[in-house]
Chains A and B, each alone.
Chain A
């Protein structure tokens, strides 16, 4: 098994992310409906679909970095609410770390993930435990980096990231929302998964499996 991915030929990873969001449009809105507006799936699907159109407009699919940048910019420009700036910053953070590189290896992905999450944290104010997508992101990053320093290869580290993302996502069920609109619900927000943490898990899972397929 190879330990690197040719960035120029991996733009399909972004199309896989888009497909995941579109496939889960109704599920994400349903989760959001329990303690939010019920429009998370609709908004996400709208932004991701706009990106799909932009990517397919070009004669050949751009590389992974450029496709992620298009995704980030489309979300920033196309969907408002909280998800536009949060996911926009996340994907632009990944793209900016990949810029100037031809090969994606385990270390570069680790740096990109860390930077992308720094960007998300600088836009929003949430911390781990606040019942947001940060509860998925931070444990996923920590598990990925811990696996790498423990000697795991790229694919194994991605599996560790995926498993931690899932646990982080599930942890939001018993949390009380402390930021964002659901925080207004106080204790009534306990017992339901957070919609942003859910879409975030689905995206990280797809990112992991789609990259693993290319190793």
Chain B
């Protein structure tokens, strides 16, 4: 295991020190170093946006705390849900009196910790509503969407909801936007190598050399099939087919495309893949209104990619294009 770390048990703590050092607009919440909030949060009268999840997915989740985006995040150990206390402290840190939207991914641990945090928030008199992202088409069959995991599509949910809240949306409006965004988003991943949690010291799972796993999860959860690696054009076809048919997307749709590397995939290869994705979408009569390519939601040093498509309507397109700034995502026009 060749890694740029100090103590493998303290990688999350050490990362947070670096992030706070580099980004003065981010601060830790009083009394809880595992909650990071935007310096300006909470903003009186604005609906607070909260998320959280395990570490190892950087820039998610912390990298989406920013202007017109997420107000506060709960930070967990690598691939492990933050505590109920941290979710609650993040909710408190984001509460400007207009309620808090807690927008997170569908994982057993996150569901339980958010559930307990909601009890604490209720006792503290904070109005909180949740949306649980389930954009990963590979994690359960069509018709069984409630069982699907949340993956990179969560970023689009935070983006639209954050823009809605920044423009004065009420809690119900923000929740409706978040729900609609994730309901119209479909994602799929392909993994080519495993990844190693530093404190564990050995690979989290196994993919044989020359093989790829279609439908792999963000923590190496098994996908739909394992097969020999194919050229990028063919990977693009597999991924586009999987997402297009599921919603389904249709001719004439305008979409936001988010293509993310999983940590070890060179940006060069992400663009190689994107070109094929764009061609396939054009062939299907689908217009890419917003293309986002880069390491948006990773899994430590896993080699692989995820593809997320959001079917836009006029309101969602405006919200996705709304200016924002953060470590992970920037749309021009936002103040720093």
| Chain A residues with a Cβ under 8 A of chain B | 29, 33, 37-39, 42-43, 76-82, 84-86, 88-89, 123-125, 179-181, 184-186, 188
Contact = CB atoms under 8 A, between A and B. Distances in A.
A120 to B, nearest CB: 10
Interface string B20-35: 0000000000000000
Interface in B68-93: 76-77, 79-86
A123 B84 CA distance: 11
Contact of A80 (B109, B111, B139, B200): B109
A80 B113 contact: yes
Contacts of B217: 184
B222 A88 contact: no
Contact of A37 (B79, B84, B112): B79
B107 A80 contact: no
A79 B83 CA distance: 6
Contact of B77 (A38, A81, A124): A81
Contacts of A179: 108
A122 to B, nearest CB: 9
B222 A78 contact: no
A42 B77 CA distance: 11
Given A39-B197, A123-B116, A184-B139, A82 B77 contact: no
Residue among B83, B197, B217 with most chain A CB within 10 A: B83
Residue among A125, A181, A188 with most chain B CB within 10 A: A181
B115 interface: yes
A89 B115 CA distance: 12
Interface in B97-116: 107-109, 111-113, 115-116
Interface of B: 9, 54, 76-77, 79-86, 107-109, 111-113, 115-116, 139, 197, 199-200, 202, 204, 217, 219, 221-222
8 contacts: A78-B83, A80-B84, A84-B81, A85-B115, A125-B111, A181-B219, A185-B222, A186-B222
A179 B79 CA distance: 17
A188 B221 CA distance: 12
A27 to B, nearest CB: 15
Contact of B83 (A77, A86, A125, A181): A77
Nearest to B117: A85
B318 to A, nearest CB: 36
A43 B77 contact: yes
Given A80-B86, A180-B108, A185-B221, 5 more contacts: A37-B80, A43-B80, A78-B83, A81-B81, A82-B109
Nearest to A86: B112
B222 A188 contact: yes
A123 B115 contact: yes
A37 B81 contact: no
A76 B80 contact: no
B61 to A, nearest CB: 13
A186 B199 CA distance: 26
A38 B80 contact: no
Nearest to A188: B222
Contacts of B115: 85, 123
A39 B199 contact: yes
A78 B200 CA distance: 19
A39 B199 CA distance: 8
Residue among B113, B115, B139, B197 with most chain A CB within 10 A: B113
A80 B82 contact: yes
Given A80-B113, A180-B108, A39 B80 contact: yes
A33 B202 CA distance: 10
